[in-house]
Structure 1
Amino acid sequence: MSHALFSSFDIDAGTRLLLKEIAHEPGIVNAKRLLDAGCGTGIIGVCLAASCPDMDVVMRDRDFRAVSFSARNAARNGLAVELRGLGGARLEPCRKRHFSKIKVAERNAVPMIAEAGLLCEPDGRGPYDVVLSNLPAKAGPLVLAQYFSTVRAELLRDGGIFAFVIVTPLAEQARAWCAEAGFSLRRTVSTKNHMVAIAQVPEGSSTASPGAASGRWFSRYVRSHVEKRIAGALLAWDGIQGLSEFDEPSYATTCALSLARKVFAGLLVRRALVIEPGVGIAPLWVQTVLGPQEIVLKSHDTLALAASSHNLGHAGRHNAVLMLEPFFLQAQLQAGQPSNRPSNAGLEYGGQLAPASTDAIILFLEDIPKFDIAAYYWPLISKVLKRGGAVVITAESTQTERVARQKPSGFSKSPFAEHKKGWDAIAFLRD
């Protein structure tokens, strides 16, 4: 479990109910290929892989931290697993000891796959016999309705099963989404807070067509269009379902960009790095005001990366470099395989940022309980920021105090700072 993820102390009630209801479903436990969509820490996927040795299991989640925990939990339970990044790149996960006293049957299936992915995003690994999901209410009704159609049209084979759990306030809508997508609703089980449904693609209906809507899938995430003048720049962006700042910039963004306008003034910026860019307002400001040759976006949230890339694309920037957080080196290639060494000189082999390769950094710090995130990011900043470069760090006031205390040698704190409604932005110059 993780303090940074949903249900950080125990398996949530919805997942428990779903596992209970699918345990004796022959069409599920005897399936050959299964997708755990929105896998979280991997509870569902790991349970199925451990108990069904012939089943190929793919685990996907919007949050790459969740994906990383899923891969870790699979490995620690003695299950072979591959961690995949953007574009399917195979990554080297951290190695941990197996949990003691855990024994799983020898598997005949291929290694499990844990990878980042969004609901409705085209999935080249389909079609599947089964799709399981603890559906996130925060995805919003438009995205969820589209996902039912995506599962039916692109992810499931003829006769395939879609088993899901959803919160009770959305239960009736979920029944309607099943009908609209063309599912046969076999049965439902309801409690005070959740509903589990077992739906099936009718036998003899059309088979799945992976990627059929590949060019249109992200449009369901768009919920608004905004134009605002922020820190001296007129910016326009699409608000995205599942992310904040769909109608106004946050206090954190306002602080960060007001300070960036002062700190980055006169700085020649060839490469800029934005960490946790959200909907993409900060990258848009960087594009408009600083005009760098390259913008790098780094986040654990693949929706934030997709949203920022989407909004930058509308502003004419189509080549932003996207990087997942936490960072894992790309796996070493076998002899004879084509090289995946990045052509960009600012990236090292394995996909990591090269030393002294970045002129300007904007970092939005998250508050993760019992985790010193400031200490986590200072080594990265120290490595990649050039001499003469600057970093703007925005967080809640208690966090920025810790950032300043942990400042390593070689950095000077800027005399400029911004504060608004409990949020602080501070800056440091690389000596």
Structure 2
Amino acid sequence: MKHNDYINKKVELNYNKSKLNFNLSQALFSSFSIDAGTSMLLKTVVKETDEESISSIYDIGCGVGVIGIALQKSFPNIKEAVLQDRDSLAVEFSKNNGELNGLSSIEYSTDLALLGVENRKFDLILSNIPAKAGEKVLINFLSRSGSFLNENGKCCVVIVASLANFAESTLKNAGCEILFKEYNKQYTVLHYRGYSNEYSEDFSSYIRNTETFDFDDHQYKMDTVYNVPDFDSLSFQTTLSMAMLSSYRIKGKALFVNPGQGHIPVYLSIKHGNDIGKIVVAGRDVLKNKITTHNLEKNRNKIDTESINIPYIDSLLEIEEESSFDFLGVEIEPVPGANWYSMIKETAKSVLKSGGLLFITGKSSPMHQLLKETKGFSPVEDKKFRGFRAVLLKKN
């Protein structure tokens, strides 16, 4: 594990006669214990499955890897296990927990659900479905997931009780057969097979709205996604950020970390045009990286654009050359107990050219911690608005 300070707690799990250990993180779902939905799903799988017949599994939205690792460890004949999450940090923790439990043959994937596994089939597909994924995303997943099954395979999912009726009706509308159902006041588990061919095989189901935005006499169109801010209007934080950057000429090679829907890079690419030679978007969340790249293309941006999925900002130190960027923009992702602020400064000092601009934005309180010491940088501008703060620095 590159950054052990991201580990919040280590927990034990006894499952199907196997004893397992998992590192958890406050940066990820269920940071203090294995959540009740996952435990409920795992119990139904071992109860309702001939474990000796299972040779391949696909854990979607794997988080820290509990479901996939528990099955790989305790089912005797699994030869192929794919653990996938859209969050690069979750995949990093899954890898760490796989090693912690003595497993070396697991395949890890950083991507959106059902992407990156084309033309593959599995005996078991499993997911603790995120409640905030978005209706279109859920319909697409539930309707299509069965198409990745072997002949006698099945999908096993757990979903919050408030979405259970919606999930069941979606499966029935897609022509799926519900093989098993168990529920309590919090969760419902469904085992099913079957699928519909009526849904897309790309990330278009994640798109929530298409909106036109206006800022600083510049108009641009954006496709926006579920569960990411700024989907129908500019937030206070984004408004503050764009207002500050509107006064400066951004040119050369620009790097945006945690780009959200892509408002800031899209706005700057329109405002400065050919002054920007290349745009790199990077961050933990595959969906944010994908939608930002998509929106740059949507606005007829001809700037060379690259997308990088990384678990930590200082992962860029292993990818990007020193003094290679003229601009670095970062939306902070504070993690309690972790030295995230030093990682930002170390990365900025390495990748920025002398005279390059460092722009940082986030909630005011953690921004204060970050800016206690800015050796190697000179202040350019510092503004606060409605609980948010934006700072522009220049590398000496």
Identity %: 29
Letter in 1 for 2:277: Q
Q: Distance in 1 between matches of 2:151 and 2:305?
A: 39
Which whole-Å deviations, capped at 9, do the CAs of 1:288-310 have from their partners, x for residues lacking one?
12331210001100110111111
TM-score by length of 2: 0.87
Q: Distance in 2 between matches of 1:427 and 1:62?
A: 30
Helix, strand or coil at the partner of 1:367? coil
Deviation at residue 26 of structure 1 after TM alignment: 2.9
Say if 1:375 and 1:406, in contact at 8 Å, map to a contact too: no
Aligned to 1:101: none
Say if 1:18 and 1:165, in contact at 8 Å, map to a contact too: yes
Aligned to 2:253: 271
Helix, strand or coil at the partner of 1:258? helix
1:282 partnered with 2:264: yes
Aligned to 1:133: 127
Larger mean CA deviation between 358-367 and 233-242 belongs to 233-242
Deviation at residue 28 of structure 1 after TM alignment: 5.2
1:18 partnered with 2:41: yes
Q: Distance in 2 between matches of 1:261 and 1:403?
A: 23
Q: Which runs of 5+ in 2 are unaligned?
A: 1-23
Say if 2:265 and 2:296, in contact at 8 Å, map to a contact too: yes
> Relative to 1, partners in 2 of residues 1:302 and 1:126: Cα closer, same or farther, differing over 3 Å?
same
1:412 partnered with 2:378: yes
Aligned to 2:245: 260
Letter in 2 for 1:419: K
Aligned to 1:298: 282
1:426 partnered with 2:383: no
RMSD, matched Cα: 2.3
Say if 2:178 and 2:192, in contact at 8 Å, map to a contact too: yes
1:190 partnered with 2:205: no
Say if 1:185 and 1:199, in contact at 8 Å, map to a contact too: yes
Match of 1:9 among 16, 29, 32: 32
Helix, strand or coil at the partner of 1:366? coil
Which whole-Å deviations, capped at 9, do the CAs of 1:329-385 have from their partners, x for residues lacking one?
99xxxxxxxxxxxxxxxx99x6x0111110011110123222232112111100011
Larger mean CA deviation between 116-125 and 301-310 belongs to 116-125
Say if 1:38 and 1:134, in contact at 8 Å, map to a contact too: yes
> Relative to 1, partners in 2 of residues 1:71 and 1:316: Cα closer, same or farther, differing over 3 Å?
same
1:162 partnered with 2:160: no
Aligned to 2:213: 228
Deviation at residue 175 of structure 1 after TM alignment: 0.9
Number of aligned residue pairs: give it: 368
1:238 partnered with 2:231: no
TM-score by length of 1: 0.81
Deviation at residue 116 of structure 1 after TM alignment: 0.8
Which whole-Å deviations, capped at 9, do the CAs of 1:218-248 have from their partners, x for residues lacking one?
2211111222222453232112122221111
Q: Distance in 2 between matches of 1:297 and 1:180?
A: 38
Aligned to 2:203: 218
Letter in 2 for 1:21: T
1:34 partnered with 2:95: no
Letter in 1 for 2:300: G
Q: Tell me which protein shows more strand as a share of its residues.
A: 2
Letter in 2 for 1:135: I
